[in-house]
Amino acid sequence: MAAVDRSLVANLAMFAGLSPAEQDELLREARSVRYPKGTAVFNQGTEAERFFVLLHGHLRVEKTTPQGQQMVVRYVSAGELFGVAQAMNLKSYPATAVAAVDSIALSWPSSSWHRLIVTFPTLAVSALQTVGSRLQDTQARVIEISNEQVEQRVAHALLRLAKQAGRKVDAGVEIDFPISRQDVAEMTGTTLHTVSRILSAWEQQGLVEGGRQRIVLRDPHKLHILAEGNEADQVRGSAP
Amino acid sequence: MAAVDRSLVANLAMFAGLSPAEQDELLREARSVRYPKGTAVFNQGTEAERFFVLLHGHLRVEKTTPQGQQMVVRYVSAGELFGVAQAMNLKSYPATAVAAVDSIALSWPSSSWHRLIVTFPTLAVSALQTVGSRLQDTQARVIEISNEQVEQRVAHALLRLAKQAGRKVDAGVEIDFPISRQDVAEMTGTTLHTVSRILSAWEQQGLVEGGRQRIVLRDPHKLHILAEGNEADQVRGSAP
DNA sequence: GCTGCAATTTGCGCTCCGACAAAGAGCCCT
DNA sequence: AGGGCTCTTTGTCGGAGCGCAAATTGCAGC
């Protein structure tokens, strides 16, 4: 566990608006941890002892139902607050957070939460914005799953990922961490086979390319049209 | 607009932990409004000028997609904070809130939010718990819609409503506001026809009863078994 | 009481996609 | 290089439930 340098966090939303002295004070109780790819930051159902900010990398947040089904709830990117379960009055984490790539996070004891938000109201503001934003995203998922066909949902999911974690490459925009067909399926409420079929078809049409745990969006514009529906049939109509 | 009496709010979560003097101060800027059944408290897309606490009644929160589809996001019951869009950094309300029955709410200018949470950190705490709780509920909806068949989803929805707004009657637990098959459909991502079919079958089996915009849960226990799945076939097997 | 409208019920055909199965491909370790 | 394991692809079949249509019912207003 290393002392945390203020320059690492100065441009994070959570620290915005704090003076250097305030930032140092907030960092005094912070602990920095590395999470190798594939390791869990916390597990669903375990006591919510700490809350976190991701400094580097990407996390996959997944939830397992009592019946054993698994869903990818979201991906967390660098700069984001996460694991604020106790702030939401939960005793335990409602999901598992796994490092999709090697990652680094800062964490604080949840027991400090209430004292910290009194001292730093901007922390509460930041948390509310983060949780609120996640609520809107999740509501949008409900609407997609209720109203859209799988192809549209997959298109939406890929576009979100490209926006959140896209890296420009020659062929287009690559999702900058390993992502399997099963992962996409768990984000969109479908099966890996259906995702595989869709991606295969899109590959033939030049919309995407990739391979094992890799997806490149070659034509984000056409995917966007697909995602919005209506004109989907037109795009399909132009395929052989 | 009437002056707001402190005794009306003393037992609300948002006011818990505040001294009588603090409660009075918080109420100084509050405005109390009646909403007749069917009227909108606020509309999706309009500027989020105020935030609210529901004192009496029930609200239906609904969202309309760009394509014109409508979904019931949730019902709000007395005592709940709602409309905290600006606190979540949204300029406009993300949904429409309609009075399902005659209702009364308190509201504050959104512009006061930041000042109020500095003065009353418990307000931020309360908001975060509310928004966090709604995030967990919404995530549960995503999981239901992804993994469950319609019958299970409808059972879950009715049980939630009975828990939130159930009133004991001779025949069981009545949902204490008008609720149409279309409303249930919009809560569960299906069509009114499918809901009607399910409820008709359940009526024959004595699980529910009701009529136009009215639902009584006659056997919540059996609905609970249905909602959890697995043993659903057993319950069906015992029907004629 | 009558009428009109909206909510509800019921029938039916069709499609999307889940689920089962099998084959192929890529990657890592020995 | 070979083997094992996991990820991906592809074929096929069946069913849940959507969507269209029509009939029935309940409620409010005149």
Q: What is the pLDDT of residues B80-97, one digit of tens each?
A: 999 999 999 999 999 999
Shortest Cα–Cα distance, B136 to chain A (Å): 8
Decide if B91 contacts B47 (C-beta within 8 A): yes
| Residue of B69, B88, B138 with shortest CB distance to A133 | B88
The identity of residue A119, as a single letter, is: T
Inter-chain CB proximity B138 and A143 less than 8 Å: no
Q: Which pLDDT value is given to residue B235?
A: 35
Q: Which pLDDT value is given to residue B7?
A: 83
Q: Which nucleotides of D are covered by protein (CB under 7 A)?
A: 7-11, 16-21, 26-27
CATH class as words, domain B6-145: mainly beta
Percent of chain B with pLDDT over 70: 94
| Residue A90 sits at the chain B interface (C-beta within 8 Å) | yes
CATH class as words, domain A146-237: mainly alpha
The band of A235, judged by pLDDT with boundaries at 50, 70 and 90, is very low
Inter-chain CB proximity B71 and A134 less than 8 Å: no
Domain A6-134: which CATH number of 1.10.3720.10, 3.40.640.10, 1.10.540.10, 2.60.120.10: 2.60.120.10
| Residue B88 sits at the chain A interface (C-beta within 8 Å) | yes
Distances (CA, A) of B59 to A120, A228, B33, B185: 34, 30, 14, 17
- Tokens representing B43 are 């509309």
Specify the pairing of strand A214-217 against strand A172-175. Answer: antiparallel
- Spatial strand order of the sheet with B172-175 comes to B166-169, B172-175, B214-217, B208-211
Specify the pairing of strand A50-56 against strand A103-109. Answer: antiparallel
Q: Which residues of B touch A227 (CB under 8 A)?
A: none
Inter-chain CB proximity B147 and A189 less than 8 Å: yes
Nucleotide nearest to A192 (CA to C1'): D8
| Residue A45 sits at the chain B interface (C-beta within 8 Å) | no
Q: Which residues of B touch A189 (CB under 8 A)?
A: 142, 145-147
Rounded average pLDDT over B125-147 = 96
Shortest Cα–Cα distance, A143 to chain B (Å): 7
Q: Which pLDDT value is given to residue A153?
A: 97
Rounded average pLDDT over A61-90 = 94
Q: Which pLDDT value is given to residue B230?
A: 55
Using only the alpha carbons of chain A, give its radius of gyration.
20
CATH class as words, domain B148-237: mainly alpha
Shortest Cα–Cα distance, B171 to chain A (Å): 32
Distance B208 CA to D15 C1' (A): 26
Inter-chain CB proximity A139 and B136 less than 8 Å: no
Q: Which pLDDT value is given to residue A14?
A: 85
Decide if B138 contacts A146 (C-beta within 8 A): no
- Tokens representing A195 are 């995702």
Q: Which pLDDT value is given to residue B134?
A: 98
CA neighbours within 13 Å on the CB side: how many for B8? Answer: 17
The band of A2, judged by pLDDT with boundaries at 50, 70 and 90, is low
Name the residue ranges covered by the structural domains of chain B.
6-145, 148-237
Q: What is the mean pLDDT of chain B?
A: 91
Distances (CA, A) of B63 to A12, B50, B222: 32, 19, 31
Whether the per-residue pLDDT at B57 is higher than 90: the answer is yes
Inter-chain CB proximity B142 and A145 less than 8 Å: yes
Distance A205 CA to D21 C1' (A): 38
Rounded average pLDDT over B29-38 = 93
Distance A151 CA to C29 C1' (A): 38
Please enumerate in sequence order all residues whose Cβ is within 8 A of that of B92, keeping only pairs 6 or more positions apart, or say none. Answer: B44, B45, B46, B47, B48, B85
Rounded average pLDDT over B15-23 = 87
Query: Using one digit for the tens of pLDDT, what is the confidence trace for A189-227?
Result: 999 999 999 999 999 999 999 899 999 999 999 999 999
Q: Which pLDDT value is given to residue A5?
A: 80
- Mutation choice for A interface testing from B65, B88, B148, B187 by most A CBs within 10 A: B88
| Residue B121 sits at the chain A interface (C-beta within 8 Å) | yes
Whether the per-residue pLDDT at B212 is higher than 90: the answer is yes
Q: Which pLDDT value is given to residue A1?
A: 52
Whether the per-residue pLDDT at A234 is higher than 70: the answer is no
Same fold, A6-134 and A146-237: no
Chain B CA closest to residue A89: B129
ipTM above 0.90, yes or no: yes
B198 φ/ψ angles, rounded to the nearest 5 degrees = -65, -50
Q: Select from A89, A95, A101 the least CA-distant residue to A43.
A: A95
Query: Using one digit for the tens of pLDDT, what is the confidence trace for B67-79?
Result: 888 999 999 999 9
Inter-chain CB proximity B135 and A131 less than 8 Å: yes
| Residue B11 sits at the chain A interface (C-beta within 8 Å) | no
Q: Which pLDDT value is given to residue A3?
A: 66
CB atoms within 10 A of CB A236: 12
| Residue B169 sits at the chain A interface (C-beta within 8 Å) | no
Comparing A50-54, A113-117, A215-219, B182-186, the range with the smallest average pLDDT is A113-117
Query: Using one digit for the tens of pLDDT, what is the confidence trace for A41-52?
Result: 999 999 999 999
